[in-house]
A and B are shown apart, each in its own frame.
Chain A
Amino acid sequence: MVRSGLSLADLAERHRPELLAYLVRFLGDEHDAQDVCQETFLRAQRAFARLRPDSNSRAWLYRIATHNALSTLRRRSRMVARRVDVELDGLPARGATSGEQRLQLVAVTTAVSGLPPRQRAALMLRQFHGLAYAEIAAMLGGNEAAARANVYQAIKKLRALLGGPNP
């Protein structure tokens, strides 16, 4: 395969850490995240020859990862609902967390894991991975306004669950 740009191995080296972080945030499970990340590069391999050299390969990888994560969630939802276990691993100083912080952690991860998958994906992509609404729309289907609505809906739900009493 002769390409002027980067090879898939180069792209993997460059983007795999951030894709893994995204998938842990999105899926709430490190093992699933590793599996989906691996699957992402296998799919990417099949499509790599068709990737135009001038296209945004980072957004392209996020798009494949998002598709794979969504189908993993569909498979998983047909099985037993699983508990989220990102919480303690994700904390910078987990040994020092107080009981109160722990409760907050459980409340937040429970609220986030209860969001519809597309809203959760859109929220993570917007908030932590710097993707534009147009790019998120390309990943989730729909237009830019729908991508933005997914993010806003997610935040409104989190606010209802975590932000204290409604007016």
Chain B
Amino acid sequence: MTRELTRHDDQIIAMLLGDAPASPALETWLRSAAGRRELAAYRRTLGTFTRIYGAIRAPRPRPTAYYCAISSPIGRVLVAATEAGLVRVSFRSSEASFVTELRERHAFDVIPSPAKTAGIVHQLRAYFDGERRRFDIQIDFRHVSAFQRRVLLAAARVPVGQVVSYGEIARRIGRPGGSRAVGQALGHNPVPIVIPCHRVIAAGGMLGGYTGGLEIKKKLLRIEGALAETG
């Protein structure tokens, strides 16, 4: 009895899924009271299941950050961009930790894509070769606070070959005396090089700090001619 039921069940399912047509023997059985009841039960089950699970819509995908690694005179540079623009530039050596930061801190889906980052990579290479003095790149500021954005935009206006002090940036954004907050905001610049926080230095000509390391800050200023080769 059990075995026969199993056989009928499989045949009903095969028929309902369109895997196999009903055999004459099955058709005969489906005309019996038990057959009619089973067919109805399977139809109801599949119908309810398909209605409910078929109605599940794909959730909106997380925003995607496309990234790429390039080598440069200052070492490996990792860049990530969304559809809205450049979102991250990093000097860190670990690609895995770069991806993890984008995933876990910013909830991006992260996908490597030389094609989607080609524009920024092209400009960066030209910059390192000394052929480009300013960047023309949309920046995605979605994870940047309003204050930090003002600081970054002020730093972005410092031309290549020049440096200004933290205090000067603080004055330019209308926060005289706010040089410590400015330093903090620049220290967390998500897109170094492109927003040239390396051109902002401490009062009295001291270089101040740099998240990527002071050596990188010096190299960038040398590339730009703001610091003597021996500096």
Q: Kindly identify which residue among B17, B40, B55, B64 contacts A91, using a CB–CB cutoff of 8 Å.
A: B55
Q: Kindly identify which residue among A38, A112, A164 contacts B44, using a CB–CB cutoff of 8 Å.
A: A164
Complex CA–CA separation, A38 to B112 (angstroms): 12
Contact indicator A9/B41 (Cβ below 8 Å)? no
With contacts A12-B64, A164-B44, A167-B37 known, is A24 near B56, CB below 8 A?
yes
Count of A residues near B, CB < 8 Å?
A: 46
Chain A residues with CB under 8 Å of B59's CB are 20-21, 24, 30, 33-34
Contact indicator B17/A126 (Cβ below 8 Å)? yes
Complex CA–CA separation, A91 to B53 (angstroms): 8
Q: Contact mask A71-99 → B, CB, 8 Å, 1/0?
A: 00000000000000011011110000000
Chain A residues with CB under 8 Å of B115's CB are 7, 9
Query: Which A1-39 residues have C-beta < 8 A from chain B?
Result: 1, 7-9, 12, 16-18, 20-21, 24-25, 30, 33-34, 37-38
Complex CA–CA separation, A35 to B18 (angstroms): 34
B54 at the interface (CB under 8 A from A): yes
Chain A residues with CB under 8 Å of B10's CB are 152
Q: Kindly identify which residue among B44, B48, B55, B99 contacts A92, using a CB–CB cutoff of 8 Å.
A: B55
Stretch at the interface among A50-58, A61-69, A101-109, A135-143: A101-109
Query: Which B39-67 residues have C-beta < 8 A from chain A?
Result: 40-42, 44-46, 48-50, 52-59, 61-62, 64, 66
Contact indicator A9/B56 (Cβ below 8 Å)? no
Complex CA–CA separation, A9 to B111 (angstroms): 6
Chain A residues with CB under 8 Å of B53's CB are 25, 90, 108, 112, 124, 127-128
Interface residues on B, range: 35 or more
Chain B residues with CB under 8 Å of A25's CB are 53, 56
Can you give 16 contacting A-B residue pairs, CB < 8 Å?
A7-B113, A9-B66, A20-B61, A41-B109, A41-B110, A45-B112, A86-B56, A105-B52, A108-B52, A126-B17, A127-B17, A128-B54, A151-B13, A152-B10, A155-B42, A163-B42
List residues of chain A with CB under 8 Å of any chain B CB: 1, 7-9, 12, 16-18, 20-21, 24-25, 30, 33-34, 37-38, 41-42, 45, 86-87, 89-92, 104-105, 108-109, 112, 124, 126-128, 148, 151-152, 155-156, 158-159, 162-164, 167
